[in-house]
Structure 1
Amino acid sequence: MPKKAEEPEERVLLGRFGSHLKIGIVGMPNVGKSTLFNLLCKLSVPAENFPFCTIEPNNARVSVPDERFNWLVDTYKPKSSVPAVLDVVDIAGLVRGAAQGEGLGNAFLANISAVDGIFHVCRAFADPDVTHVEDRIDPVEDLKIIFAELRAKDIERVNTHMEAAKKLRNQPKEQKEQLEMCGKFKEALEEGIDIRFGKWNNKEVDLLNTLQLLTAKPSVYLVNLSEKDYIRKKSKWLPKIFEWVKENGGEPIIPICVSFEAKLHEMPDDEADKYCKEVGATSVLPKIITTGFKAIQLIYFFTAGPDEVKCWQIRKGSKAPQAAGTIHTDFERGFICAEVMKYTELKELGSESAVKAAGKYKQQGKNYVVEDGDVIYFKFNVTSKGK
């Protein structure tokens, strides 16, 4: 009974339960997706920190900015340091009718299926030299088209699974459950409700995580403004976008000006700083990265010492043995305990010995849920029989 009571807490998240998750840049053609992606590529982590991870041309691995990580590096002065990373995928523009194969159609939707979250780039700037596929500027209508296409593809995926379930004649109980669950998913989608906003029980979540539906993926909205609107922090489209997003789940919105960001990247650092002060605006690329990282339910803990300071990313809700397994599978198999310091206490007290002296250095067992920013040392033992 106690184990069953804990299950709902462990099954609250949709999506792949892993640490190597990706977020895709999505939007209609000519909204600024690829330029944004190229800017993020300039923030890519040096490849030597991540062996055996060849990234394709349309993928960028960018470091997650974090003052905590910087402080640990300054404090321990390690031989090497490895930040947390966000994998970003540039996905080709979507057009009306993509679910029926229009434009790049199925390839586009397959690319979204392969990521775990979405940056929706909305065009809220006018430029006669940059055409819009719908021959007008209306970011809210663009969002409606995109989500209608995603829901249409999800309905198609659910229908396919229902057809497969109908063949389970020799498993009547399993067949009935599968058809009932798919019926609920389809009804929600046909009513215009994205899967991630539905209320699902544990069995339904298990099936959804198998189906990997497109509208189950969390979203962050990036509103691409003109430089004038971005600097003055005002646009006729922002209130409309905020209202639409509020009515459709209330996920994060970040105003951005891709041309402004590109201008900053072409300047030397001191010149860019001076320009930002003059116009009263700054880059939001760091905010986009950290928001995207959180959106796909990733957190990280630190290991810190004179040899290395490293961020180890895990899915939110992971317990100590799972976290240990990200370092090495033996750590999880032979888990004994996790010795945990809270970053805030370590910074306040100044050193590991001071944390111990203050009684703040805690030993945690296998049921400890790791928190973002924990500084952890794991104890483990694996016998020759593979305990």
Structure 2
Amino acid sequence: MKIGLIGLPSVGKTTLFNLLTGSNIEVSEFSQGKVEAHLGMARIPDERLMFLEELYKAKKTTYATIEVIDVPGLVKGSSSGKGVGNQFLDNIRKSDTLVHVIRAFENDAVIHADGSIDPMRDIETINMELLFADLGVIENRIEKITTTKKQTKEQLEELEVLKKCRDGLEEGVLLHNIDFDDEEKEILKTFSFLSEQPMILVVNIDEDQLISKDYPGKEDLEKYSKETNTPVIEICVKTEQEISQLDQEDRELFMEDLEIEETGIDKLCKTAYDYLGLMSFLTAGVQEVRAWTIKKGTIAKHAAGKIHTDIEKGFIRAEVTRYKDLVEYGTSQKCKEKGLVTLEGKEYIVVDGDIIDFRFNV
């Protein structure tokens, strides 16, 4: 899974990238003219792995991960060449979802690209740049097809879909919010349009706003979220940066003082995972406990293939223990004695948190 961080300059994207990936990129790199996209891996928080690690005294713990890419800030006109952000739009075309970082924090030392705090205006600016970038690709492709002397059946079908996209974009509607049937979606896959990607909004707030639970434009943003079915996560990036540098005990005390039950970074990772219809099944033993990422609705045989293709090819049965049962009874043996460990066939639909031992024959 891959997420692309986008937003205006100086909104906290690179600091968020550092928090997600454990990197230490200078936050001023982009503003100093360094225009290399940042790549890193973020792990999906999973308390179930912590329990299994302790239970099995595992030598290794492997979390599910998300690939993260951070590109320079976009500005009004980026899609037509203004600024440096447009150079990196192709870097995020293959993302599974875009995370738009929006500034709400007050800080006179950090100049806002448009002069003032206005989340809805910033959303419109970024959406329009994605829209215009896609529109340029569509118009070029339409021109190429229409100037072809003899058009194939496939080209004519593609042309109809592209015209539908163009009409929607010209009305200011992102492709993600346009209904396409399965055949149209197959055609669109070849383009990797930016505005077709799912979007998560991250509002970067300051500590006062964290405490007051309010910031400029919050009401309008919540309305927009409901109307477009777009998740919104509020993160005080500065505070979370401080939290990340504390040991576990001090971290818990600090979060308790600020009435933070879960860090925004953890919320973002979990939201991205869920928003994309992903989940994890688990494998556990002395050597390693591990979370494996699969799509919701995946059958056991295909889940086995995530570990190794040989296991999928030689699949016999899946020995499944429910996580909640293991927590309740403490050991796999006791779960077996209670009849709670089941043998499932290849068509079994894996449930989030299933602890699976695959039986196979090579």
Shorter-chain TM band: 0.7 to 0.9
CA displacement at 1:100 relative to structure 2: 0.7
Q: Using the alignment, how far apart are the partners of 2:268 and 2:13 within structure 1?
A: 13
Aligned length: 350
Q: Secondary structure at the match of 1:30?
A: coil
CA displacement at 1:65 relative to structure 2: 1.2
* One-letter amino acid of the counterpart of residue 101, structure 2: V
The answer for the alignment partner of 2:231 in structure 1 is 252
Q: Is the 8 A contact 2:72 2:85 kept in 1?
A: no
Q: Secondary structure at the match of 1:211?
A: coil
* One-letter amino acid of the counterpart of residue 20, structure 2: L
Q: Which among 240, 244, 252 is matched to residue 265 of structure 1?
A: 244
Q: Which among 156, 174, 177 is matched to residue 136 of structure 2?
A: 156
- Of the structure 1 ranges 326-335 and 220-229, higher mean CA displacement relative to structure 2 is found in 326-335
Asked whether 1:73 is paired with 2:42, we answer no
Gaps of 5+ in 2: 25-35
Q: Is the 8 A contact 2:145 2:151 kept in 1?
A: no
* One-letter amino acid of the counterpart of residue 147, structure 1: N
Q: Using the alignment, how far apart are the partners of 1:114 and 1:270 within structure 2?
A: 39
1:238-317 alignment, distance < 5 Å? 238-247=218-227, 249-281=228-260, 283-317=263-297
CA displacement at 1:213 relative to structure 2: 1.2
Q: Secondary structure at the match of 2:291?
A: strand
Report Cα offsets for 1:186-226 as digits up to 9, x if no partner: 22222222222322221112122222111222222111112
1:139-154 alignment, distance < 5 Å? 139-154=119-134
CA displacement at 1:74 relative to structure 2: 1.5
Do the aligned partners of residues 374 and 269 (structure 1) sit closer, same or farther apart at CA in structure 2, a change above 3 Å counting?
A: closer
CA displacement at 1:170 relative to structure 2: 5.8
Q: Using the alignment, how far apart are the partners of 2:67 and 2:179 within structure 1?
A: 29
The answer for the alignment partner of 2:339 in structure 1 is 359
CA displacement at 1:262 relative to structure 2: 2.4
* One-letter amino acid of the counterpart of residue 346, structure 1: L
Do the aligned partners of residues 71 and 335 (structure 1) sit closer, same or farther apart at CA in structure 2, a change above 3 Å counting?
A: same
Q: Is the 8 A contact 1:338 1:365 kept in 2?
A: yes
Q: Which among 182, 187, 191 is matched to residue 202 of structure 1?
A: 182
Do the aligned partners of residues 271 and 310 (structure 1) sit closer, same or farther apart at CA in structure 2, a change above 3 Å counting?
A: closer
Gaps of 5+ in 1: 1-20, 45-55, 383-387
Q: Using the alignment, how far apart are the partners of 1:326 and 1:270 within structure 2?
A: 36
1:97-246 alignment, distance < 5 Å? 97-166=77-146, 172-246=152-226
* One-letter amino acid of the counterpart of residue 263, structure 1: E
Q: Secondary structure at the match of 1:210?
A: coil
Q: RMSD over aligned Cα, in angstroms?
A: 2.5
Q: Is the 8 A contact 1:43 1:63 kept in 2?
A: no
The answer for the alignment partner of 1:3 in structure 2 is none
CA displacement at 1:165 relative to structure 2: 4.3
CA displacement at 1:302 relative to structure 2: 0.8
Q: Using the alignment, how far apart are the partners of 1:205 and 1:369 within structure 2?
A: 25
Q: Using the alignment, how far apart are the partners of 1:57 and 1:211 within structure 2?
A: 21
CA displacement at 1:163 relative to structure 2: 4.1
Identity of aligned residues (%): 37
Q: Is the 8 A contact 2:199 2:230 kept in 1?
A: yes
Q: Using the alignment, how far apart are the partners of 2:278 and 2:152 within structure 1?
A: 38
Q: Is the 8 A contact 2:37 2:88 kept in 1?
A: no
Q: Is the 8 A contact 2:37 2:71 kept in 1?
A: no
* One-letter amino acid of the counterpart of residue 192, structure 2: Q
- Of the structure 1 ranges 259-268 and 300-309, higher mean CA displacement relative to structure 2 is found in 259-268
Q: Using the alignment, how far apart are the partners of 2:338 and 2:166 within structure 1?
A: 56
CA displacement at 1:269 relative to structure 2: 4.3
Q: Is the 8 A contact 1:338 1:379 kept in 2?
A: yes
CA displacement at 1:164 relative to structure 2: 4.8
Q: Is the 8 A contact 2:279 2:293 kept in 1?
A: yes
Do the aligned partners of residues 190 and 359 (structure 1) sit closer, same or farther apart at CA in structure 2, a change above 3 Å counting?
A: farther
Q: Secondary structure at the match of 1:220?
A: strand
Do the aligned partners of residues 277 and 320 (structure 1) sit closer, same or farther apart at CA in structure 2, a change above 3 Å counting?
A: closer
Q: Using the alignment, how far apart are the partners of 1:88 and 1:333 within structure 2?
A: 32
* One-letter amino acid of the counterpart of residue 309, structure 2: T
Report Cα offsets for 1:55-79 as digits up to 9, x if no partner: x982221221111111111212222
Q: Is the 8 A contact 1:168 1:175 kept in 2?
A: no
Q: Using the alignment, how far apart are the partners of 1:367 and 1:295 within structure 2?
A: 25
- Of the structure 1 ranges 188-197 and 228-237, higher mean CA displacement relative to structure 2 is found in 188-197
Q: Using the alignment, how far apart are the partners of 1:342 and 1:203 within structure 2?
A: 38
Do the aligned partners of residues 201 and 74 (structure 1) sit closer, same or farther apart at CA in structure 2, a change above 3 Å counting?
A: same
Q: Secondary structure at the match of 1:127?
A: coil
Q: Secondary structure at the match of 1:148?
A: helix
Q: Is the 8 A contact 2:321 2:342 kept in 1?
A: yes
Do the aligned partners of residues 274 and 335 (structure 1) sit closer, same or farther apart at CA in structure 2, a change above 3 Å counting?
A: closer
Q: Secondary structure at the match of 1:337?
A: strand
Report Cα offsets for 1:226-255 as digits up to 9, x if no partner: 2111112122321121112222x2221111
